[in-house]
Amino acid sequence: MTADEPTVLGLDACKSALEQIDLDAGGSPITSLTALVGPIPVSLLRALELSTKDVEKTKRIQRVVKLFCEKTAQILADPSSVPEDILVSLLRVLGTSSALLREYPVLRKQLAKNVVSVWSSWPSDSVRVVALLTLHHLCSRYSKVFESCLKEMYQQYGRSCRSLSMHNLGQATLMLNGLVEIFALYPEKAVAFGTRCLRQMASLVQQAMKKSDKTNVKKVLCWQFIALVRFWAHLLATMGTESAFKALLFPVCNLLTCVLSFQSSPRFFGFHFHMVASALEMIERTGCHIPVTSCLLKIVGYVAKQPLYKLEVKKAAYDLVALYKVPKSETTTKGYLECVADEALFYILKLLTQQISTVTFPEQANAVLSSLKNVIKNFPKLDRNLKKQIEGHMTKITQQKKEIETLRIGEALTPTAVFDKKSTLQIDNMKQPLIAYVANLEKVRNIKRKLLADKEEEEEEDDQVSTNKASTKKVSSKNAAVDKKSVDKVKKPKQELPASKKRRKTESTEKPSGNKRAAKNVGPEEDIVEDFVLDD
């Protein structure tokens, strides 16, 4: 045996090492866990390969294999006490030695569920990635595991997105990409599951449109709904060109079209921008049609109606990527409306840059230019900065429209025709200035977001420090008051109360003390992810 080859243990040695692992007795030593992720699975795989004809020996090996699977499931059920490096090694071993689970479907399902729990809740991103690779191994080898993981991972992703902010968007994106990888393994089964989920989500939107009560609307205007729509859009943007996934294009486009026209209240402009971002990703990758421009122009028109120069400035900036609603009192502030206008105009330009290579671009640009001209014309008291911004965007669009129009007239093409290969290359060179302009806007937008995130983080730290100081001061003053009271008790003898007063005091102490001021619910939103999955 060379130094690079792993140590191979005998069957009895493997069984003895596994029996030493007893987490119920207060945890196992690191050495026994190291054996679990080291020589034991390698030895069992080697033993199974060599005992193909010996039935009795195979049964003995299978008993030890079952013990190995049970111990692994026991550790992964509550991995909080396991060192992170051991947990990573255990997940890797489980993926590479997944052949050991062939005879144990119940244990396979339990192990997959435990790994999904690690993938969705472990604080370290590196452990999450290893857990995802393990799930990829298990799902690739066993289709039944894929079916059980599909719903579990989808729901865990939705639950983890109950409350999104600038600080946990990265983890949500990591889970989103991992979920797409798993769904792509068996397209037919994923499409069947997706059809049921999208039907249920469309039903929730329909109910909220018909009866706009708080319960129905809350199921649509929430982070979980946004995250799941974003997932389906990203899945189709990534895999939509494959024949199996094309069946989901119409349901997702239809869902986005309905949601973009739902509750266009100033409070929920952030919600609409999330839907617009998902729609633009699908339009760019799949070439489908979703009426996004009308929603964005409606938002610009609303902002133009408000006299920004007269409005109160409460907050300098908002990160509309990390929120979907604002308090009603802030919907008429200058800071919020300026951010909304910037976001809407940015998405309008981004949408036009995606369609710039088509012959129909001049007609599409004309519709946008006409709407923006009406905004400037109908509101003469428009804010100077907003007017300047709109005019700058219109200049860029007009310049690009004229170039495409000139090329189309030169080739005598109708809007229903297509450019030849030579003209397409020419357009690619012509559209660079507009693409660079939009890229620069996006760069500025990301810098603003980062600065805002850093600022909010500093404010949170300052608030925490001031809260700690206030609580320390309160405790010290309370202790001083208690000390003074105890001294007074020593100095003054306690007077005997009359019987009537004693009885009254006893009755008052027996009454439950109710707090009149209810505590505000500042935690994450209610978990309603079960409503987004239709049962089989």
- At residue 253, the pLDDT reads 94
Q: Is the pLDDT of residue 294 over 60?
A: yes
Token pair listed for 81:
């006490």
- At residue 471, the pLDDT reads 62
At which of 455, 487, 511 does a domain end? 455
In a domain, 482, yes or no: no
Q: Is the pLDDT of residue 198 over 80?
A: yes
In a domain, 108, yes or no: yes
Q: Are residues 241 and 370 in the same domain?
A: no
- Of 248, 147, 238, 155, the closest CA to residue 195 belongs to 248
Q: Are residues 26 and 120 in the same domain?
A: yes
In a domain, 402, yes or no: yes
- 503-523 pLDDT, tens digit per residue, is 444 444 434 433 333 333 334
Q: Are residues 165 and 285 in the same domain?
A: yes
Average pLDDT over residues 481-499: 49
Q: Are residues 144 and 208 in the same domain?
A: no
Containing structural domain, residue 83: 1-160
CB-CB neighbours of 506 under 10 Å:
9
* Total number of domains constituting the chain: 3
Angstrom distance (rounded) from CA 204 to CA 202: 5
Burial readout 198-220 (b: 16 or more C-beta within 10 A, e: otherwise): beebbebbebbbeeeeeebbebb
At which of 455, 478, 505 does a domain end? 455
In a domain, 297, yes or no: no
Burial readout 383-421 (b: 16 or more C-beta within 10 A, e: otherwise): beebbeebeebbebbeebbebbbebbeeeeeeeeeebee
All residues at 6 or more sequence positions from 41 whose CB lies less than 8 Å from its CB, including other chains:
68, 93, 96, 97, 100
Q: Are residues 363 and 246 in the same domain?
A: no
CB-CB neighbours of 360 under 10 Å:
14
Q: Are residues 283 and 379 in the same domain?
A: no
Q: What sign results for the dihedral spanned by CA atoms 139, 143, 148, 154? A: positive
Average pLDDT over residues 227-241: 92
- At residue 150, the pLDDT reads 92
Average pLDDT over residues 384-390: 89
